Amino acid sequence: MSAGPRTADEEYAATMRDLGTAVLAFGREGGGLSAEEVAAREQAAAERINQLVAASRPLAAHGSCASCGEPCGPLVHTLRCLPLRSLLLL
C-alpha cells in the first residue's frame, strides 16, 4: 500500500510534532509556542485527521461467512461451519 500526498492537516501535525521535539530538546519556546501549546495544536490536528478518515470510509468492516452468514474475519470467506460450529457451541 503506497501513501498518497500529505494533506494540509498532516503537514500541520508533522510541523507541530517537529516543533514539539525542538521545544523539549532546547527547553524553551519555539516559534512563540510553549510545549503545552504545541502539544495541544498537534492533538487538534490529529483529531481532525481522524475525523476526515472516519468520514471517508468505515474504520472496520467485518466479513460474513459465505455458508451461514455469521460474522467472521475480513479475510475469511467461510467458517466451514457445520461440524466446527457445533463443537464451538458446546
Taking only the tens place, the pLDDT of each residue in 50-61 is 888 878 766 566
Q: Is this structure's pTM higher than 0.75? A: no
Which residues, in sequence order, are CB contacts of 88 under 8 Å at separation 6+?
none
User: How many whole angstroms separate alpha carbon 40 and alpha carbon 75?
Assistant: 38
User: How many whole angstroms separate alpha carbon 4 and alpha carbon 11?
Assistant: 13
42, pLDDT greater than 60: yes
Provide the mean pLDDT of the chain: 75
* Placement of cell 494540509 in the chain: 8
What pLDDT does 3 receive?
A: 58
Higher-confidence residue: 37 or 1? 37
What pLDDT does 54 receive?
A: 78
What pLDDT does 82 receive?
A: 46
Q: What are phi and psi of 32, to 5 degrees?
A: 80, 10
**Helix, strand or coil for residue 63?**
strand
